Amino acid sequence: MVLQFIRAMRILVLAAFVAFSALIVAPAAQAQQGAVRPTEQSLKEADLLKALKSGESVAGRVTIPDRKSGNLIQPEGQEWRVFKTDTLPRVGAIAILGMLVLLGVFYAVRGRIMIDSGRSGQVIERFGAFDRFVHWLTAVSFILLAISGLNITFGRSLVLPVLGAEAFTALSVFGKLVHNYVGFAFMVGVVLTLLIWVKDNIPSGIDVQWLARFGGLWHKGDHPPAKRFNAGQKGIFWSVVIGGALMSISGLHLLFPNSVDGGIAEVQWQSMIHGVVAMVMVAIILAHIYIGSVGMEGAKEAMTSGEVDLNWAKEHHSLWVEDVLKERGNAVVHPTGKVAAAE
Partner 1 sequence: MARMKFLCDSDRCIECNACVTACKNEHEVPWGINRRRVVTLNDGLPGERSVSMACMHCTDAPCAAVCPVNCFYTTADGVVLHSKDLCIGCGYCFYACPFGAPQYPKVGNFGSRGKMDKCTYCAGGPEDDRTAAEYSKYGRNRLAEGKLPLCAEMCSTKALLAGDGDIIAEIYKERVAKRGYGSGAWGWKVAYKDSVAL
Residues within the interface to partner 1 (CB under 8 A): 36, 38-46, 48-49, 58-64, 66, 68-78, 80-81, 84-85, 151-153, 155-156, 160, 165-166, 168-169, 172-173, 176, 180-181, 254-259, 264, 267-268, 271
Q: Which is nearer to partner 1, 266 or 297 (CB)?
A: 266
Q: What's the closest the beta carbon of residue 194 comes to partner 1, in angstroms?
A: 25
Q: What's the closest the beta carbon of residue 54 comes to partner 1, in angstroms?
A: 14
Q: Which is nearer to partner 1, 4 or 78 (CB)?
A: 78
Strand 122-125 relative to strand 333-335, pairing: antiparallel
Alpha-carbon distance of 210 to 189, in angstroms, equals 28
Kindly report the number of other CB atoms within 10 A of residue 314's CB atom.
Answer: 18
Length of the chain: 343
Q: Which is nearer to partner 1, 55 or 225 (CB)?
A: 55
Q: What's the closest the beta carbon of residue 180 comes to partner 1, in angstroms?
A: 5
Q: What's the closest the beta carbon of residue 324 comes to partner 1, in angstroms?
A: 44
Q: Which is nearer to partner 1, 58 or 284 (CB)?
A: 58
Q: Which is nearer to partner 1, 76 or 297 (CB)?
A: 76
DSSP 194: H
Q: Which is nearer to partner 1, 167 or 212 (CB)?
A: 167
DSSP β-bridge partners for residue 308: 124
Alpha-carbon distance of 240 to 277, in angstroms, equals 11
Alpha-carbon distance of 316 to 313, in angstroms, equals 5
Q: What's the closest the beta carbon of residue 263 comes to partner 1, in angstroms?
A: 10
Kindly report the number of other CB atoms within 10 A of residue 47's CB atom.
Answer: 9
Q: Among residues 62, 59, 41, which one has the least CA distance to residue 49?
A: 59
Is the CB of residue 55 less than 8 Å from the CB of residue 67?
no
Q: What's the closest the beta carbon of residue 48 comes to partner 1, in angstroms?
A: 7
